[in-house]
Amino acid sequence: MRKIEKIDVWALGPDLPRTTWASMPPQFMTMIAVRVTDSDGTEGIGGTESYAAGQFDLSVFEATRTLAARIVGSEAGRLEQTWQQLQTYVLPAAPGAVAVLDVALWDLEARRAGMPLYRFLGGARSRALAYASTPELADVPSYLDHVSDLQAQGFRAIKFHAWNVPERDLEMLAAVSAKFAGSGLQFMHDAENRYDRRSALRVAQALEEMNFRWFEAPFIDYDVEGYAELRRRVKVPIIPHGLWMTDLMELRHALMQNPWDAVRFDVTSAGGFTLGRKICALAEAFGLPVELQSWGYSLIQAANLHLELAMDRQSFFELPVPYDAYEFGVKGSFRPDVDGCVSVTEAPGLGLSLDWEAMARAELAHSEVLSA
C-alpha cells in the first residue's frame, strides 16, 4: 500500500513590492507552501497565502502543519477520504490549511499519472481569457495610464481595485469608461466588501450605464439579503467577494436567495480541488457560472487556472498586476498571449518549476511531518 510518507510545510515571507487596495496599509503576503512525498518518492506541491499589515502572519502555517499530522501515514491516492480526514467536525477547519494540503495531494496524483492537472481533473479546455486585476493606485491619471499600459500588453479586460470611497471610485471609473469607450476593453469593479447599501446602489446604477462586465463585492458575502435586493434593482451582474463562504451547505442556502450572478471562490483558500469541484457542480445545478478568484502568488494562480480549464464554468481568469509583486517562488509565469488568453504547460501536475533557492531565502518557518 502506497502511503503519505512525509509532508513539508513552509511559511515564506518574500521581500517584494507590497501592493494594497481599499485604502489599507501595504499588505504583507505570507506564502504557505506544502510538499507531500509518498512512499514511492513521488512529490506534490501546493500553495496558499495569508495577509496582514505590518508583519507576516503565520496562522495558516500553524494550522497547516497541525492538520498535516492527521493525514501523514495514511494511504495515498484516496483523495476524497483524505479530504474528509482533514475535517475536524468540532470547529471548522481552517479552509486555507485544508486547501493547500488537498492541492498538493492532487498535484502528486496527477504527476504519478503523467498528466497536467487540468486534464486529470477533467480537461474541458486548454486556455482562458485573462483580466488584469489592478492594485490601488494614487489617483485618476495613474489609473488611466495603467489601463493604457495593460491594453498594450494584450489584456482585453481589466478589474479595478480602488479606494472604496464611492464618490472617489466613481470619478475614476467614469474617467476610464469615457477615455476607453469603443476600445473593446471590458471593465469590472471590486469594492472589497466596503460599501453600504445606498452607495452600492448608486455605484451599481452608474456601472450599468457604463456597461461594466460586473460589480464585485459591494458587501460582505454574508449579507445575502443586501445582494439579493441590489440584484433586483440593477442589471449589471453582481458577484460576491468569494472568500467568506467555504462550506458547501452554507453556500447552497445562500444561493437559494438568488443573490449573485456567479459563484466565486479561490481553490487554494476554500478547501482545495476536492471541495472546489463540488462548488462548481453546485453552481451548475443553480445555472450559474463560476468566476474563480486567483489574486496572489503564481502558485495560487496555477491551482485556480487548472481548475478553471478543467471545469469550464468561468468566463475569465484573474491575473494580478504588477507581475513582480506575485511571481515569487516559481520559474516562469502567466502572461496574456496575443488573444489576451493564458494557458498552462502540458507538464504533469501543476506544471510549475519552483525556485527553491528563492524560497529558502524567504523562509520564515519550516515544519517536517513524518510518517511513524
The pLDDT tens digits for 123-157 are: 999 999 999 999 999 999 999 999 999 999 999 99
* CA atoms 319, 326, 60, 106: torsion sign: positive
More confident residue, 252 or 17: 252
Is residue 350 included in any domain, yes or no?
A: no
Per-residue confidence (pLDDT) for residue 313, from 0 to 100 = 83
Does 173 lie in the same domain as 99?
no
pTM (two decimals): 0.96
Q: Are strands 43-53 and 127-133 parallel, antiparallel or unpaired?
A: unpaired
Is residue 348 included in any domain, yes or no?
A: no
Q: In which domain, by residue range, is 281 found?
A: 119-343
Class of residue 339 by CB neighbours under 10 A (exposed 0-12, middle 13-18, buried 19+) = exposed
Is residue 349 included in any domain, yes or no?
A: no
- From 65, 55, 53, select the one nearest 96 (Cα to Cα): 65
Q: Provide DSSP, 268-301.
A: TTTTHHHHHHHHHHHHHHTT--B-----S-HHHH
Does 111 lie in the same domain as 124?
no
Statement: residue 222 has pLDDT above 90: yes
Render pLDDT for 315-371 as a digit per residue (tens, 0 to 9): 999 999 999 889 999 987 899 999 999 999 999 999 999 999 999 999 999 999 998
Is residue 351 included in any domain, yes or no?
A: no
Does 92 lie in the same domain as 141?
no
The whole-angstrom distance between residue 256's C-alpha and the CA centroid of its chain comes to 24
Domain count, the chain: 2
Average pLDDT score over residue span 95-107 = 97
Does 58 lie in the same domain as 129?
no
Query: Band of the pLDDT at 21, cuts 50, 70, 90?
Result: confident
Does 296 lie in the same domain as 158?
yes
Does 132 lie in the same domain as 249?
yes
Does 135 lie in the same domain as 84?
no
Strand partners, 215: 189, 238
Does 285 lie in the same domain as 335?
yes
Is residue 221 included in any domain, yes or no?
A: yes
Query: Band of the pLDDT at 17, cuts 50, 70, 90?
Result: confident
Does 316 lie in the same domain as 175?
yes
Mean pLDDT of the chain: 95
Average pLDDT score over residue span 184-207 = 97
Does 361 lie in the same domain as 321?
no
CATH number of the domain that residue 172 is part of? 3.20.20.120
Query: Band of the pLDDT at 22, cuts 50, 70, 90?
Result: confident
What is the distance between the alpha carbons of residues 122 and 109, in angstroms, rounded to a whole number?
A: 14
Does 62 lie in the same domain as 138?
no
Does 299 lie in the same domain as 228?
yes
Statement: residue 299 has pLDDT above 90: yes
What is the distance between the alpha carbons of residues 2 and 8, in angstroms, rounded to a whole number?
A: 18
